[in-house]
């Protein structure tokens, strides 16, 4: 959530910045509700003071042996009105909270202004796309050998956007996840975590999936208990510090997890229906950092670099893109996307997204750190990034390392996880 001070003291400027994200803030309506809140809060405080004053007068009267019945009746009337006022104030505050929960984070000043992905700005490229001397196959054609990649069986089991992997391709998929985890934990300093795939609504709200994106989530209900399948391990990892105060010497807290991820892809009908590009169930190695506010943008650069190293060690050409205001995720203030080269599409496709959310998620989660200079708790900054998407890395390896006979050369970095195999065929 945004700082309430922005909505009270800098409403016009906040609305202007939100507009660059395609979010229209009804300033007049919010000002009207805020005026109601101030009025109700002032009246409530006055009633509380009046009740306290009259209660003291009752004590004095009784102490003197005087008749306090009139004062008692007045206090009872004040109590009834106070209760009604408190309920009215709570309703207004709930309305303001609902509005605040629907607002995206403010874009950082370095984020380019734009409406969609066409406004993104390329930062740099690494690697040279391979020149093939034969007709390039896409990952679906390559995976058809021996039924390694089977969308038909996935559809039979679960419906569209599910896939079954078999044999050496399934092993290569597993090898990628193991390689990424080992790299991030041994070389990049992330703590490996194994986290729940099912979380409660508080966790989803803490990282911004609820209430705005409920239609994109899978949920389970057992009795009266509702839990959500995580769309990314970011949810579980970031919520570890929910309602906690982290000591300064523990920051930055860097965590990594390999997990299944579940997304209903409700807004993506008709997009990337072929193969594994956009699945309801997929795997990802997620990176999360909990940082001091003064260090979060340096941590953002570091996290993005950690994801880049994955692609470089795999020998996959990629480019880094700074997302514009209209293409960033709901909770992000600044985002770098890494896009990997896919020969079959002759273009770069997203494989990692690294975002600094500043204190936006922390305010929802009441996640804080103790500033040693003041001794007081302050909101942390939260960051998350893909390090990287396992399924899309598999696609990139298949296509970039394919051979004319349909076999796939195993990148050197993965061979220790593949029993030393140099190719799969």
Tell me if 422 is assigned to a ligand binding site: no
Q: Which residues contact 340 (CB under 8 A, 6 or more apart)?
A: 311, 316, 317, 318, 348, 349, 351, 392, 393, 396
Tell me if 367 is assigned to a ligand binding site: no
Has 289 been annotated as catalytic?
no
Tell me if 386 is assigned to a ligand binding site: yes
Has 349 been annotated as catalytic?
no
Neighbours of 53 (CB within 10 A): 12
CA-to-CA distance for 289 and 381, rounded, in angstroms? Answer: 8
Tell me if 192 is assigned to a ligand binding site: no
Which tokens hold the place of 405?
A: 């006979």
- Answer yes or no: are the C-beta atoms of 317 and 341 closer than 8 Å: yes
Neighbours of 243 (CB within 10 A): 11
Give backbone dihedrals phi and psi of 2, rounded to 5 degrees, phi first: -75, 155
Tell me if 84 is assigned to a ligand binding site: no
Has 392 been annotated as catalytic?
yes
Catalytic residue among 353, 355, 364, 399: 353
Which tokens hold the place of 353?
A: 């997204």
Tell me if 39 is assigned to a ligand binding site: no
Q: Both ends of the chain: CA-CA distance in Å?
A: 51
Tell me if 296 is assigned to a ligand binding site: no
Catalytic residue among 37, 166, 278, 370: 278
Tell me if 350 is assigned to a ligand binding site: yes
Catalytic residue among 263, 302, 320, 368: 263
CA-to-CA distance for 192 and 185, rounded, in angstroms? Answer: 6
CA-to-CA distance for 133 and 128, rounded, in angstroms? Answer: 15
Give backbone dihedrals phi and psi of 211, rounded to 5 degrees, phi first: -90, -10
- Answer yes or no: are the C-beta atoms of 232 and 246 closer than 8 Å: no
Which of 350, 327, 215 minimizes the C-alpha distance to 269?
215
Neighbours of 55 (CB within 10 A): 14
Tell me if 168 is assigned to a ligand binding site: no
Catalytic residue among 54, 259, 392, 399: 392
Which tokens hold the place of 109?
A: 């000043």
Tell me if 265 is assigned to a ligand binding site: yes
Tell me if 263 is assigned to a ligand binding site: yes
Catalytic residue among 43, 312, 350, 378: 350
Has 350 been annotated as catalytic?
yes
Tell me if 233 is assigned to a ligand binding site: yes
Has 353 been annotated as catalytic?
yes
Q: Which residue positions form the known binding site for L-serine?
A: 232-234, 286, 386
Q: Which residue positions form the known binding site for ATP?
A: 263-265, 350-353
Q: Which residue positions form the known binding site?
A: 232-234, 263-265, 286, 350-353, 386
So which residues are the catalytic ones?
263, 278, 350, 353, 392
């Amino acid at each position: 959530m945004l700082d309430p001070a922005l909505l009270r003291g800098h409403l016009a400027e906040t609305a202007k910045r939100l507009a660059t994200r395609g979010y229209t803030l009804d300033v007049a309506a919010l000002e009207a509700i805020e005026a109601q809140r101030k009025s109700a809060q002032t009246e409530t405080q006055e009633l509380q003071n009046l009740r306290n004053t009259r209660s003291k007068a009752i004590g004095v009267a009784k102490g003197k042996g005087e008749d306090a019945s009139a004062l008692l009746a007045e206090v009872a009337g004040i109590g009834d009105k106070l209760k009604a006022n408190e309920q009215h104030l709570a309703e207004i505050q709930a309305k303001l909270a609902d509005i605040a929960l629907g607002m995206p984070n403010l874009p950082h000043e370095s984020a380019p202004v734009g409406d969609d992905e066409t406004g993104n700005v390329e930062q740099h490229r690494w690697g040279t796309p391979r020149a093939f001397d034969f007709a390039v196959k896409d990952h679906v054609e390559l995976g058809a050998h021996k039924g390694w990649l089977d969308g038909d069986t996935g559809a039979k089991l679960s419906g569209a956007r599910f896939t079954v992997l078999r044999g050496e391709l399934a092993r290569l998929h597993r090898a990628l996840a193991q390689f990424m985890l080992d790299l991030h934990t041994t070389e990049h300093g992330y703590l490996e975590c194994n986290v729940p795939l099912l979380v409660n609504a508080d966790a989803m709200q803490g990282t911004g999936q609820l209430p705005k994106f409920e239609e994109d989530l899978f949920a389970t209900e057992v009795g009266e208990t509702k839990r959500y399948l995580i769309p990314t391990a970011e949810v579980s990892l970031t919520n570890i510090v929910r309602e906690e105060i982290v000591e300064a010497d523990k920051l930055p807290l860097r965590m990594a997890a390999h997990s299944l991820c579940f997304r209903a892809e409700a807004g993506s009908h008709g997009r990337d229906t072929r193969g594994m590009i956009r699945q309801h169930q997929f795997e990802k190695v997620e990176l999360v950092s909990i940082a001091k506010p003064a260090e979060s943008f340096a941590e953002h650069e570091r996290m993005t670099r950690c994801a880049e190293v994955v692609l470089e060690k795999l020998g996959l050409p990629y480019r880094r893109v700074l997302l514009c205001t209209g293409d960033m995720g709901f909770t992000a203030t600044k985002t770098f996307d890494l896009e990997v080269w896919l020969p079959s599409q002759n273009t770069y496709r997203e494989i990692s997204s690294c975002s600094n959310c500043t204190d936006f998620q922390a305010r929802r989660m009441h996640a804080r750190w103790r500033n040693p200079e003041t001794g007081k708790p302050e909101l942390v900054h939260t960051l998350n990034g893909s390090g990287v998407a396992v399924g899309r890395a598999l696609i990139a390896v298949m296509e970039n390392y394919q051979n004319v006979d349909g076999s796939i050369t195993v990148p050197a970095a993965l061979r220790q996880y593949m029993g030393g195999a140099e190719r799969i065929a």
